[in-house]
Structures are given as C-alpha cells and as structure tokens.
Structure 1
Amino acid sequence: MSDPILTLKAVHTDIAQYHILQGVDFEVPRGEVTMLLGRNGVGKTTTLKTIMGQWTAKSGEILYDGQDLKRLPVSARARAGIGFVPEDMGIFSDLTVEENMVLGATSGPLDPQRKEWLLAAFPALGTFWNSEAGNLSGGQKQMLSIARAMAEDRELYLIDEPTKGLAPAIIATMANALRELKAQGRSILLVEQNFLVAKALGDSAVVMDDGRVIWTGAMAELASNKDLQENLMGLSMEAH
C-alpha cells in the first residue's frame, strides 16, 4: 500500500444536536480509489463534507499530505488540491456548461489541453457547451458536476454517489473518466451504492455504520466475500 494522501484520526462531527461522526479513522492511499461504503444514513456524506470543510469537525485530525485541514476554510482546501463532487451536483442551472466549467478552474482560465481531455471523456458536454446547464438531462448534469471538479488538476477527489439513478451507458462514461484520473496518479475517495461500479473501480474499501468505521481492507476481498458483506452491511452487495 502506498503512503496515504489523506488520513482521518478520531474525527467527530456534530450537526445541530446530532452526533453524526463518532471517531472516524481511515486512510486514503495515494494514487488509488478508496470506496466509502455502508447503508444509507451511516455518515458517508457527512464524512466527505467534513473533509471538505462544509461541516466542521468537533475533534480529531484530518491530515492531507500531512497538513491538518481542520482549521482551513473550504476555499483553502480546494486551493490545496482537493476537488469535491456533492451528491446534489451543485451546478449553476442558469449558467452555460462553459461558464460552469470556468468556475471550476479556480486558479485561472480553463486550460485548453485540460478542456480537450474533459470533452473527450464527456463528449455530451461539448455538444451542449454553450447551452444553459439547467437544460441538460440528469445524467448530463452529473457529468458536468464531475467534469467541473476536474476542470483543474487536483491531487484528491471526493465524489458522492456519482452514478445514482443513471443509465448504464452514462455510468460507463463516468467510470472510464475516473479510471483515467487514477491512471494520472490522482487519488479518489468515492461514495458509491452501485456494487458493480465499486467492484470495478475500488482498490480499497472503508465500511461505515452508525458514524463509525467498522471495516477497512482491499475492495477485492470485500467483493468476493458475501458473508463479510452481509455481516458488515446486512445484505449481499450484489443485491444492493
């Protein structure tokens, strides 16, 4: 296993009166895809938002390349090299696809070579480049959300359920783009409910339950062991 790009140590996060994360510990190895798995409502999205700074950790450490992020605002975490794709996509519907992409390139104009690579990875975005993002289909909006996070080269990507409710062809397009990111040496922490996607993309897996990490290991080990899946998540992932 390579050295971790991200390490969470005993992270606790409260939202209003609720204690959501209760001592979360795990690592994201550099240059790998780490799957963050578990049933709905166990704290996966809160974990991503805590790493990104949208929710404030009450205690613990969030180490990115050895630097504790806990006191940094969201903007500083993005500038440090972290890209975030939220579950709700967060695109600007009244702006064009191009304008959304330009906003994703926070340190300057959209690099022409980067644009060329992204349009090759997500061809539909080129077709609707000058169209308002609100006119895109659900799958196209999800593509735009992911592509916008990739508009600038980042070391770590946090991605929350990118394939939820999408057609198989669009899922395949997204999976290929994420494989290309990994091939470029980038690290990905991915929340995903689609077992086939998790199995195909994941190098390692972190399983959560009730705000805690209950298992970490190789994705291949989890994918091949139905008893382990049922013990950790209450069902076989193939039925998920």
Structure 2
Amino acid sequence: MSDQASDAILKLQNVHTDIAQYHILHGVDLAVERGAVTMLLGRNGVGKTTTLRTIMGLWTAHTGTIHFDTDNITETPTPARARAGIGFVPEDMGIFTDLTVEENMTLAAASGPLSPQRRDWIFSAFPPLKTFWNSEAGNLSGGQKQMLSIARAMAEERKLYLIDEPTKGLAPAIVSTMAAALKELKNQGASILMVEQNFAVAKAIGDYAAVMDDGKIVWSGTMQELATNAALQEQLMGLSMEAAT
C-alpha cells in the first residue's frame, strides 16, 4: 500500500504478538489510509482478529510499533486508545445483555450523552434499534445484537473503527442493512479497518485490501485490483470473489 502510507491514520511496523506460548503475529506491516475502508482478509486462523486486538491494546505487541495518527501507541493502555478515537467492534459483539439498548448506547458515548442527531442517524441506519430502544439487549435477535454492537462504536464519531466480521452468520437482509450502514459511515469520511469473510461485502465497501497468511501481511493493494483478479484471489486465499457476487 505504498499510496496509502502517505496519509495513513494507522501504521503497524514489524508487529509481533504472542498469546500464551503461541506466536501469532510474525512481523505485521500494515497501513490504513485516512478516510478509507481497508479490508483485512485471509483464511481462518491466520491472525486477523489478533491484529485488531493488538491495535486496540487488548493483546500486547512484544516487538514492533503501532502509530495512530501522529502518536506511537504501542504501549498505550486500551482505555487511552479508545479516548484517542479508536472504536472497536469485536467478533463476540461485546454488548451488555442485561441492559437496555438505550443503556448500552449511553455507556458507549463516553464523552457525554448521546446527541439527538447521532441517535437519529443510528436509528436511520439500524431501524430495529429504535423499535427495541427500551428492551433488554439480551432479548434481541442475533442480527439485532450485531447492529447494536456496531451502533455502540458509532455512538460518537471516531477517528478509526476496527470491525471484526460484522456480517458473520447473519441473514442476507440483515447483511444488506449492515453493509448500507457501513457504506454511510464511510461516506461520512470514517477510516475503517474491517475483517470480513463475505467477499461480496468486502468488494462493495472496501477501498483497499490487505491479505494475511501465517501471521503476516502477504499482499496489499486496492480492493478493485483484488476483486477483478480471480487468479490472485485463488493464489492468496484459495477463494474467488466471483462466487460471492
């Protein structure tokens, strides 16, 4: 991503991460361009989720550096990374099931009450959240819980959103709603790094792509370049986006 690096909001350089006795990341080099969507792709188990969690500080990089905006955040605690403007949507959603949708959103708006304008925009993106605003989050369907998880990250405007497999296991209609909301977030100028296994969604939303294998980035470039090259897809991931269009 040589073109990205000139205005990257996030840069990882030679990042290594261990989890217990396992060496998961083997020198990750990654740049996320400001105001664009970068898709982090690859087979299961190659280190994509570990990369997001390392960026968020939930796991510690023992070698290498992570720069966010103008700051070196390699050793910055997770809460400080969140306050600096990084929003994280984990694969396990991370919602509070015994609290209402409204209470979940209130907790997510760390700098103050959720503004009416932001709330209305979230309602337009995810209409079920308006319907179940006063319901306990544990009573939502799987797709509605995922909407709430993403909406929590959107409760305030963030500089960077880290989103881990937002459409996994969802019905096609909900996937469409999710993709439309993420497109709108992108259109507002958000910077997004997203792990996604649905290649149709990746192609529709992504500006750039980085492909992981064995704990490192093995290819990076534009999403268009990857999406239009079936041989490259097969070489990198053993998959073809054409099957998902």
Instruction: Please give the TM-score of this superposition, normalised by the length of structure 1.
Output: 0.98
Aligned-residue offset at 1:235: 2.5
Q: Which runs of 5+ in 2 are unaligned?
A: none
Q: Can you list the C-alpha shifts for 1:142-200, whole angstroms capped at 9, x where unaligned?
A: 00000000001101000000000111111111111111111111100010000100010
Question: Which residue of the other structure, out of 232, 238, 244, is the alignment partner of 1:228?
Answer: 232
Aligned-residue offset at 1:32: 0.3
* Alignment root-mean-square deviation, CA: 1.0
Q: d(CA) in 1 for partners of 2:23 and 2:231?
A: 30
Q: Secondary structure at the match of 1:94?
A: coil
Q: Can you list the C-alpha shifts for 1:55-105, whole angstroms capped at 9, x where unaligned?
A: 000111110002111111111000000000000001110000000001110
Query: Equivalent residue for 2:33?
Result: 29
Q: Can you list the C-alpha shifts for 1:16-43, whole angstroms capped at 9, x where unaligned?
A: 0011000000100000000000000000
Question: Which residue of the other structure, out of 106, 111, 132, is the alignment partner of 1:102?
Answer: 106
Query: Equivalent residue for 2:56?
Result: 52
Query: Equivalent residue for 1:89?
Result: 93
Q: d(CA) in 2 for partners of 1:114 and 1:239?
A: 37
**Counterpart AA for 1:53:** G
Q: d(CA) in 1 for partners of 2:200 and 2:240?
A: 12
Is 2:10 aligned against 1:38? no
Question: Which residue of the other structure, out of 215, 218, 222, is the alignment partner of 2:219?
Answer: 215
Query: Equivalent residue for 2:177?
Result: 173
Q: d(CA) in 2 for partners of 1:107 and 1:238?
A: 43
Identical positions, percent: 74
Q: d(CA) in 2 for partners of 1:49 and 1:200?
A: 25
Q: d(CA) in 2 for partners of 1:166 and 1:237?
A: 18
Aligned structure 1 segments of 4 or more residues deviating by more than 4 angstroms: none
Is 2:165 aligned against 1:161? yes
Q: d(CA) in 2 for partners of 1:130 and 1:235?
A: 42
Q: d(CA) in 2 for partners of 1:190 and 1:238?
A: 20
Instruction: Please give the TM-score of this superposition, normalised by the length of structure 2.
Output: 0.96
Q: Secondary structure at the match of 2:233?
A: helix
Question: Which residue of the other structure, out of 203, 209, 214, is the alignment partner of 1:205?
Answer: 209
Q: Secondary structure at the match of 2:17?
A: strand
Q: d(CA) in 1 for partners of 2:85 and 2:239?
A: 36
Map residues 113-192 of structure 1 onto 2, 5 A cutoff: 113-192=117-196
Q: Secondary structure at the match of 2:134?
A: coil
Q: d(CA) in 2 for partners of 1:101 and 1:35?
A: 26
Q: Which runs of 5+ in 1 are unaligned?
A: none
Q: Secondary structure at the match of 2:204?
A: helix
Q: d(CA) in 2 for partners of 1:66 and 1:20?
A: 27
- Which segment is superposed worse, 211-220 or 166-175? 166-175
Q: In the comparison of the two structures, how many residue pairs are matched?
A: 240
Q: d(CA) in 1 for partners of 2:241 and 2:43?
A: 11
Q: Secondary structure at the match of 2:46?
A: coil
Q: d(CA) in 1 for partners of 2:229 and 2:138?
A: 42
